[in-house]
Structure 1
């Protein structure tokens, strides 16, 4: 299940196929705009991402007369999901940066602790351009004594939510039905 995309993998796929990925790409574009000033790798990523965004907009949103109410609702929902993911990643970034400062660690030293040697890769992880591995997040939680719930995103895709709700209904378990509100 994908709750966060790796921009390089996303670009390698060659197209944006749904509204949620479009919204995620728009947020990533804004992040890359800032990072591209410091690093040509990010500038190249941003240019490729912008091409995908433009292709999607021309394919899906170009004809204003053809835009349906359902499409508008899907867009609003995707925007809210992507924004909640962005806020989570920003909060996590701030927490990690405060801990780096508290422990007088550079980003490069932090990378070595996690087993990552590239400063660019660490920047991508911290800025949410690439997702941390679960192992990275557990190490960060233990190393800096951070509640894992502040580090691990708890978002479920619509597909996964639907499957869970369907299964809860099929199982007919009252206790689980009460918990379905968390989704």
Structure 2
């Protein structure tokens, strides 16, 4: 089980299909800008991602006649949720790095413990380019003594919120209220 969005899967898919993925891709592109200075892999990934971003913008945002209030609201909500995810990932990365420092461990050594052979892969995990697996986070919890609430995002994607609310409505159980984040 993966715990969040995977930017490499999006690039492999070859198309951005919704505002949430667009906002996540914008954040990932900024991260990749920094990482691409030292890695050809990240440089190539960033180029592909930028092409997808441009294609989505041309398709969804170039015709002013198509821009509805609903589209703007969707964009605003997606931007807020993507930023919340970004902050969570950054905080998690700092917590892990601080614990590694106190234990005199490197990020590469943590990768070895988790069974990840590549330094690049560990960097992708730490920076939110690829998602940690649930198993990775359990090991980090046990090894570094970091609370699971700090490791696993406990908020839902916009898509999941819509699906859940639709299911509640279809069941006729409007008294069930989904918590807000």
TM over 0.5: yes
- Structure 1 residues 51, 167: CA separation in 2 closer, same or farther (over 3 Å shift)? closer
User: Which segments of 5 or more consecutive residues in structure 1 lack a partner in the other structure?
Assistant: none
Contact 1:22 1:56 in 2 (8 A): yes
TM-score by length of 2: 0.91
Of 157-166 and 117-126, more deviation after overlay is shown by 157-166
Residue 91 (str. 1) matches residue 59 (str. 2): no
TM-score by length of 1: 0.90
- Give 1:139 shift: 0.4
What corresponds to 2:29 in structure 1? 29
User: Which segments of 5 or more consecutive residues in structure 2 lack a partner in the other structure?
Assistant: none
| RMSD over equivalenced CA pairs, Å | 2.1
What corresponds to 1:12 in structure 2? 12
User: Deviation digits for residues 105-148 of structure 1, max 9, x if unmatched?
Assistant: 11111111111110000000001110000000010001011110
**In 1: Cα distance, 2:173 partner to 2:20 partner:** 31
Higher helix share: 1
**Secondary structure, in 3 states, of the residue corresponding to 1:156?**
coil
**In 2: Cα distance, 1:65 partner to 1:2 partner:** 38
What corresponds to 1:47 in structure 2? 47
**In 1: Cα distance, 2:44 partner to 2:163 partner:** 38
Of 160-169 and 41-50, more deviation after overlay is shown by 160-169
User: Deviation digits for residues 49-107 of structure 1, max 9, x if unmatched?
Assistant: 00000000011111224311111111000000100000000000000010111111111
Aligned residues: 180
